[in-house]
Amino acid sequence: MNLDLPRLSPQTAEQLLNSMTISVRTRWAVLKASGPTAREYLQGQLTQDMEKITAEQGIHSCLLTPQGKAVSELYILEGHDNELIMLVPASHAETTVARLRQFALGHQLRIGLVKTLSICSVQGAHAHTLLNDFGLDEPGERWLSSSRKAGEDTFAVVMPEKPHGFWIISSPDQIHAILQKHEQVAEQEMEAMRIIRGFPDFGVEWDESLHPLNANLIEFDGVSFKKGCYVGQEITARMNWRGGIKKKLYRVSIAGRPDTLPCPVHTTAKIGELKSAAIDHEGNCCGIALLPIEVAESTVQLTLDNGVTVETLEACHA
């Protein structure tokens, strides 16, 4: 059985090295939160410290249930007039809005899906040149460094799908107009870059069945162990301080192709799962797998059901 895996073409790899690539990111949606107590409320709902957000720096975070299960992951930026821009997987956008509204009684805030904003991804050595088309300054070098256009809902944020890349948040019309001036790549190629880079997404490599600490929330700076209480904190803190993190997501190299996805990863028995895979510009197969830390960081041989061997490269990280 031949899976239709996302592929990074040699042409796109060349563009990344010598110019840039651009693509829409329809898998993500934009939410907006505002109101006098919006930050105070979100501080008690999210895993990361809201006080870390500035005009130049966003945060990564998760929204949990009281039982510590993930509702969604979020990237949060500071907007205009004390508004907050939140990027969430489109598949979980409505669930996220409903969950945040559910417990907002007594708070003065508004939160909802913003269909007047879209996201495109610009990656490559000269990605910064496209920022001029949007009237944006180049953000800092840190992950989730951000810039915004004065008086408009137009933002750039550093995202590590590949080095030297940005997500740009702007109106669909403006993104469409600027994309028409440049050669676009298919969103599937951006997905290939993401997987090759080892950058897991909620709803793809992990979901509510996996605790976020097992999905490398610490490695992606998505949790604070110093802030005050938040929903799901007790279980999250207990896992961290009592050694409850037994599995993580790892970048892996695959000496062949998986027959199905997700699929089991074995030693002498099933010990983990290959969550996603992609083909790089040289025809190599890479993936993201959930593996026991003890096994992943040993020399034990790993295989798939079809006998293809798997090599652990590194834990997924920002």
pLDDT for residue 234: 95
Yes or no: say if 139 and 156 are a contact pair by the CB < 8 Å rule.
yes
Query: pLDDT tens for residues 15-41?
Result: 999 999 999 999 999 999 999 999 999
| Check whether domain 197-315 has CATH 2.40.30.160, yes or no | yes
Residues of the chain with CATH 2.40.30.160: 197-315
100-108 mean pLDDT: 91
- Asked if pLDDT for residue 281 goes beyond 70, the answer is yes
150, burial (CB in 10 Å: exposed 0-12, middle 13-18, buried 19+): exposed
Q: Could you tell me where the beta strands, DSSP code E, fall in 108-191?
A: 110-113, 118-123, 146-148, 155-158, 166-170
What residue spans of 180-232 are helical by DSSP H?
187-197
> With 60 as the cut, is the pLDDT of residue 162 above it?
no
Helix H or strand E segment including 38: helix 38-43
Distance (Å, rounded) from C-alpha 89 to C-alpha 75?
A: 10
Cis amide leading into 262 (omega within 30)? yes
With bands split at pLDDT 50, 70 and 90, how would you rate the model's confidence at 244? confident
155-158 and 285-292 strand pairing: unpaired
**Beta pairing class for 28-34 and 270-279:** unpaired
Task: Return the DSSP state at 57.
Answer: B
DSSP string computed for 184-197: ---HHHHHHHHHHH
Whether the predicted pLDDT of 144 surpasses 60: yes
Give pLDDT, residue 161. 66
The rounded percent of the chain whose pLDDT value lies above 70 is 98
Indicate where the chain has its CATH 3.30.1360.120 domain(s): 10-186
The reported pLDDT for the residue numbered 151 is 87
Q: Which residues contact 17 (CB under 8 A, 6 or more apart)?
A: 124, 125
Measuring CA to CA, how many Å separate 34 from each of 5, 30, 47, 118, 232? 40, 14, 19, 19, 23
**Structural domain 10-186, CATH architecture:** 2-Layer Sandwich (3.30)
Instruction: Find out whether 146 and 157 touch, Cβ atoms under 8 Å.
Output: yes
Query: Given this model, what pLDDT does residue 1 score?
Result: 55
Give the residues across from 263 on adjacent strands.
274
At 108, list the tokens: 């003065």
